[in-house]
């Protein structure tokens, strides 16, 4: 009896051993097959490619030398290749207003490490000949930048040129638009002063401001005079609002930018969704020049050209009062549309 039980036990063990060996051989064969086979479409390749890593502002700040060259528009071919620099269409445009402080605003925004500026006014959208050259020509006029920097250009003639809103809309319907304004009569006198200086350099005569701004036949404000017409901000803005919602505009106080620039720049940073980086360190008042200059770093400072801050000619107070009264209702409408109020007469 004991012998039979032992025999049955040995048979069971042999069966179990044979099953174990069979399973082991199957696994070995399976592993070998897996080693030889490659998946046709690995999971990793089916995933969306990772987005390019955004350049941290801290990294940009450490690239001071390169940023300095970018700000000047002097990136070399080697720098372009090594740092994957690109020419980008602007994501924000300073569209006006002439003599409102457009150059000062552009230069001050260029203090931000995430901003690069087009140094010259491109006049792409307001010049038919330039516009006919196409969008690639326009892009070729932009500075080289890192992919995640914002390119900004300024051409104040855009604000008052009828064709421009539609043309910009066709390029980018979600672009951000900056308008810097000053008290309308002061802006008109400043406009006149720049033209007068140009005439004097060419030894040409020019009418007095009062004769241009007031129609001598009617003694009313001369709306055919371009300097007056440009200061009717609401008329031009209404044309833009046919294409862009008011949320895509930011109004900058040009008078405040002269006397206390930092708060205005911080508002623009917020509008452009930029982290706050421009500080009082970057702005210092130059008593000799009479306005603020820019400090990019410990070795690089910059003041606006000497032509900025021209002394205005004396204007007959009665003409000033007439102009202020004329602009008043337009100003009120401008406040209502934009949601920003100024202490203009």
What is the mean pLDDT of the segment spanning 24-29? 43
Query: Is residue 342 situated within a structural domain?
Result: no
- CATH number, domain at 180? 3.40.50.300
Position 290 scores a pLDDT of: 82
Query: Is residue 339 situated within a structural domain?
Result: no
Residue 47 has pLDDT above 50, yes or no: no
Distance in angstroms (rounded) separating the CA atoms of residues 230 and 189? 11
| Overall domain count for the chain | 1
Residue 11 has pLDDT above 60, yes or no: no
Question: Which residues participate in the annotated binding site for 3'-phosphoadenylyl sulfate?
Answer: 99-103, 182, 190, 292, 308-312
- CB-CB contact of 317 with 323 (8 Å): no
Query: Is residue 88 situated within a structural domain?
Result: yes
Q: Which of 274, 265, 272 is nearest to 294 (CA)?
A: 265
Query: Is residue 193 situated within a structural domain?
Result: no
Residue 14 banded pLDDT, cuts 50, 70, 90: low
Per cent of the chain over pLDDT 90 is 66
Query: Is residue 217 situated within a structural domain?
Result: no
User: 162 lies in which domain range?
Assistant: 57-184+231-309
Query: Is residue 44 situated within a structural domain?
Result: no
Query: Is residue 299 situated within a structural domain?
Result: yes
Active-site positions? 99
What confidence tens digit (pLDDT) does each residue in 171-207 have? Answer: 999 999 999 999 999 999 999 999 999 998 898 889 9
State the pTM of this model: 0.79
Query: Is residue 300 situated within a structural domain?
Result: yes
Question: Which residues participate in the annotated binding site?
Answer: 99-103, 182, 190, 292, 308-312
């Amino acid at each position: 009896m004991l012998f039979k039980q032992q025999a049955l036990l040995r048979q069971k063990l042999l069966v179990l051993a044979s099953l174990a060996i069979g399973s082991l051989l199957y696994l070995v064969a399976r592993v070998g097959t897996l080693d030889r086979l490659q998946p046709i479409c690995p999971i990793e390749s089916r995933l969306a490619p990772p987005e390019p890593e955004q350049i941290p502002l801290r990294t940009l700040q450490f690239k001071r030398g390169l940023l300095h060259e970018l700000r000047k528009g002097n990136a070399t071919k080697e720098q372009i290749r090594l740092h994957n620099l690109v020419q980008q269409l602007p994501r924000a445009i300073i569209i006006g207003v002439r003599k409102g402080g457009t150059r000062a605003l552009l230069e001050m925004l260029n203090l931000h490490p995430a901003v690069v500026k087009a140094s010259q006014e491109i006049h792409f959208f307001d010049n038919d000949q330039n516009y006919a050259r196409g969008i690639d020509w326009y892009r070729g006029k932009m500075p080289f930048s890192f992919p995640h920097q914002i390119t900004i250009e300024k051409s104040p003639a855009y604000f008052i040129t009828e064709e421009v809103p539609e043309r910009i809309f066709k390029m980018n319907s979600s672009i951000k638009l900056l308008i810097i304004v000053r008290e309308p009569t002061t802006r008109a006198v400043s406009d006149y002063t720049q033209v007068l200086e140009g005439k004097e350099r060419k030894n040409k005569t020019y009418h007095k401001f009062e004769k241009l701004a007031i129609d001598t036949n009617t003694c009313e404000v001369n709306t055919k005079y371009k300097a007056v017409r440009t200061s009717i901000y609401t008329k031009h803005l209404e044309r833009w609002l046919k294409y862009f919602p008011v949320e895509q505009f930011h109004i900058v106080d040009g008078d405040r930018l002269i006397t206390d620039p930092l708060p205005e720049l911080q508002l623009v940073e917020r509008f452009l969704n930029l982290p706050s980086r421009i500080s009082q360190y970057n702005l210092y008042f130059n008593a000799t020049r009479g306005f603020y200059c820019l400090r990019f770093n410990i070795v690089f400072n910059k003041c606006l050209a000497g032509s900025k801050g021209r002394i205005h000619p004396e204007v007959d107070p009665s003409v000033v009062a007439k102009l202020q009264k004329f602009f008043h209702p337009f100003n009120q409408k401008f406040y209502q549309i934009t949601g920003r109020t100024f202490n203009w007469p």
